[in-house]
Amino acid sequence: MTTVDQAKATGRGKLRIDARLLIVFLFSCVGLFIFGKIASEVMEGDTMALDRHIIEALRNPANLAIPIGPPWLLTVMRDITALGGWTVRTLITLLVVGFLAVARYRAMALFVVLAIGGGEILNNVLKGLFDRPRPDIVPHLVDVHSTSFPSGHAMNAAIVYLTLGAMLARTQPRRAVRIYILSVAIALALVIGASRVYLGVHWPSDVLAGWAAGASWALLMSLVAQRLQRRHTLEGATQA
């Protein structure tokens, strides 16, 4: 390949990378718009009727303390929701950070800690800002103590699992492995958020807003990571 051909190939590669960065940025903007729209509707009370309908539909009409579905489903949902709790999130984050450090992705390990820690702080700020009460129309099936909007489990699960998934995927050269990692991360975020509505501790709009905000944060962190990797400040750049 001639020098001119190499230059053209390099230029096309940069255009593809820049296009991917733009797509990621646009998706993060869409997520932020969705969060803002839901937040506005919640503050005006426009989501309450649908929120109530969905939560009540997930309970036995004769006894709102009993969720729909077989008895084992409640146990499954409690186990799933624990995956979005502070203890499990922290443990999984530490395990992945440890893996990155041992694999000599030390800058990436530090970046993961800062990205996830920043997302946790953002969630606490948003909860304090909106200060929405928890649903009180059905008995809660797990203990809760904080405010409701946005859902901490939904938002933090999206932040933690999508960020970890994106960072781990960028250490893998095989496309199939990257797709699998990201698919698992997305599935975890979705089922954890859904479990909060099933257990009656969050309004559906809380969970939707949590997903939107958490995914937007994870996408923005992925965008920052890609920029740092292009500058060789962060290890593990792939064609992901």
Q: How far is Cα 102 from Cα 210, in angstroms, rounded to an integer?
A: 32
* Angle at which helices 48-57 and 204-230 cross, to 10°: 100
Written in H, E and C, the secondary structure of 104-130 is: CCHHHHHHHHHHHHHHHHHHHHHHHHH
| Residue 140 annotated as catalytic | no
Active-site annotation holds for 153: yes
Q: Which of 53, 140, 145, 202 is catalytic?
A: 202
SS3 content of the chain, % helix, strand, coil (to 5): 75, 5, 25
- Single-letter amino acid code for the residue at 153: H
DSSP H/E element including 51: helix 48-57
Catalytic residue, chosen from 53, 140, 145, 153, is: 153
Q: Please list, residue by residue across 31-65, b when 16 or more beta carbons sit within 10 angstroms of its beta carbon and e when fewer do.
A: bbebbeebbeebeeeebeeebeeebeebbeeeeee
Dist CA 149 CA 132 (whole Å)? 6
Q: Which residues are catalytically annotated?
A: 153, 202
